[in-house]
Structure 1
Amino acid sequence: MRTASRRDVLRYAALLGPALALPGALGATGGVARAGATGLQVIDFADRLVQPEQIKAAGFDGALVYVSELRPGATFDFKPVTRDYADSLRAAGLQVASCYQYGKPGWAHSPSDFTRGYDGGVADARTALRLHAAAGGPPTAPIFFSVDEDIDATTWKNVAVQWFRGINSVLGADRTGIYGGARQCSWAIADEVIGESTSAGYRWAWQTRAWSHGERVPAAVLFQREIVTATEPGFVIGGVHVDVDDVLAADFGQWDLARQQGGQS
């Protein structure tokens, strides 16, 4: 039995409707509950784009945007992020950070990105870097690369870490981040394939509640606490289902923060 991506269930989540949104959804409180260490929350897209004014009106502080191409057969309108959309987020005073995911668990022609090995990591990092720059992303901001399933330690050591090392060869480890569960984030930190935030003690780890089994990674800069699944609609903005992320560090990888330039081109 394969491990399904949480994205697999979006077609079911759409059936749940806005009425089943978690507490804090628009129409319930008009805003969101603050749970991050910094008091900030951002969203990431699971269904389709939300306009910046709607994100801001819902009480959020920014969004993670995809610097990856759209895989064949997918219908998302948020891959890759456009310069116009990124500019509109920033003009609205919203923070922006970059993430990458092209493949998907179980897809024959575009399986999970981490299965592509070192050379695949090189290619994916080059694509991410190109799309990040095209959207206006600065050369100092990290990019979070997704491990969107609950892989075990053997798969990490034999497969996924090689992909990250390929990414490192292009971006440098200092600009490489990971999205994943608690174990995957911890392994990335231990193997030094992700970089350090300018916030002391934090690394470019975006931890999802999925597959974390209640564990938390103290060094994570982001925690995805509301997730669109078959049983959870996530947060609903104007009928669009989005994931919600607590910001845990002052520097969580946002574009509009001055950092020393590093990495490779």
Structure 2
Amino acid sequence: MQASPGSELPRQSRQVSRRDVLRYASAVSALAGLGVASAGAAAPTASATGHMLIDYAMRQIPAQAIRAAGYSGVINYVSTSRPGSNFGAKPITRPYAESLTAAGLVIVSNYQFGKPGGTAPSDFTRGFAGGVSDAHTAWQLHTAAGGGRNAPVFFSVDDDINRETWNNVALQWFRGINSVLGVQRTGVYGGVNVCRWAAADGVIGTSSTPGHRWAWQTRSWSQGQRDPAAVLYQRIVSTASTPGPVVGGIEVDVNDVMAHDCGQWNLHP
């Protein structure tokens, strides 16, 4: 049964059911079928699954350019541009999503509006009410683009925060998000500690890949540590001093896929 945006999805059982096994098999198939995208391409070192996704905001990159560069899909925004900016890939649109899907690429949803030092404050500082508002916005943009009704949205903590800030500020934002989407459709983007804290406090859901949860870890603020339960790892973060690879004319970030079910739309209809 499909859950409405305002309902809590049931927590995944510790025991692996026959349904879980079938979902896991489907997840393997969904990503394995994209192997043709990287065949013969000069892509960076492969991830644990042999697949990589790119994320970017500047503009929409043509699907064929992404395939030609050897990537299996994208992490795209279900948020709008901050005041004073005009990012062409924010938010993802249905025609663009359909072009990616038609090319055999997978899509994962991410929400980020504000940014430290930007024209809007970091989203995680907006408290419970801000989390409620952001979740409604993310879900409206996600579904308008054709996103899976049961797919997670990864919400960004794009800053190096300490445990006190997590406990007193960011956690309340995630509680607000959970009240709208439910835990199972909530994911987190952040450094290794943020990923671990989100899991420990029960505000992010679980992947159908055993031992993994909806954590997208960035190498930033991680001090070389890895969260083995993360489904995605942002290995290349494009900056002015260390630019990422160029795909379709723009620099991108590169993410290793660490679980066959990384929250891609086609696995969560």
Q: Measure the CA separation in 2 of the matches of 1:71 and 1:238.
A: 23
1:77 aligns with 2:88: yes
1:89 aligns with 2:100: yes
Q: Aligned pair in 2 of structure 1 residues 92, 99: CA closer, same or farther (>3 Å)?
A: same
- Show CA shifts across 1:96-143 (max 9, x none): 010000011123x51000000000000000000000000000111000
Extract structure 1 runs of 4+ deviating beyond 3 A. none
Q: Aligned pair in 2 of structure 1 residues 137, 71: CA closer, same or farther (>3 Å)?
A: same
Q: TM-score, normalised by structure 1?
A: 0.84
- Show CA shifts across 1:12-67 (max 9, x none): xxxxxxxxxxxxxxxxx952134311111010004332110000000000001100
Does the 8 A contact of 1:188 with 1:194 survive in 2?
yes
Residue of structure 2 in register with 1:256 after alignment: 266
Does the 8 A contact of 1:206 with 1:220 survive in 2?
yes
Residue of structure 2 in register with 1:15 after alignment: none
Q: TM-score, normalised by structure 2?
A: 0.83
1:157 aligns with 2:159: no
Does the 8 A contact of 2:148 with 2:268 survive in 1?
no
Residue of structure 1 in register with 2:61 after alignment: 50
Aligned equivalent of 2:74, options 50, 53, 63 = 63
Aligned equivalent of 1:98, options 109, 122, 127 = 109
1:133 aligns with 2:143: yes
Does the 8 A contact of 2:245 with 2:252 survive in 1?
yes
Q: Which amino acid aligns with 1:37?
A: A
Aligned residue pairs total: 230
Aligned equivalent of 1:236, options 230, 240, 246 = 246
CA RMSD of aligned residues (A): 1.3
Residue of structure 2 in register with 1:12 after alignment: none
Residue of structure 2 in register with 1:172 after alignment: 182
Q: Measure the CA separation in 1 of the matches of 2:150 and 2:141.
A: 14
Q: Measure the CA separation in 2 of the matches of 1:198 and 1:110.
A: 35
Does the 8 A contact of 1:148 with 1:179 survive in 2?
yes
- Show CA shifts across 1:66-93 (max 9, x none): 0012221112101111100011000000
Q: Measure the CA separation in 1 of the matches of 2:248 and 2:130.
A: 37
Q: Measure the CA separation in 1 of the matches of 2:170 and 2:186.
A: 14
SS at 2:227 equivalent = coil
Q: Measure the CA separation in 2 of the matches of 1:231 and 1:32.
A: 21
Q: Measure the CA separation in 1 of the matches of 2:108 and 2:171.
A: 23
Does the 8 A contact of 1:34 with 1:40 survive in 2?
no
Q: Aligned pair in 2 of structure 1 residues 47, 232: CA closer, same or farther (>3 Å)?
A: farther
Does the 8 A contact of 1:65 with 1:96 survive in 2?
yes
Identical pairs, percent: 59
Does the 8 A contact of 2:217 with 2:227 survive in 1?
yes
Q: Measure the CA separation in 2 of the matches of 1:222 and 1:137.
A: 18
SS at 1:256 equivalent = helix
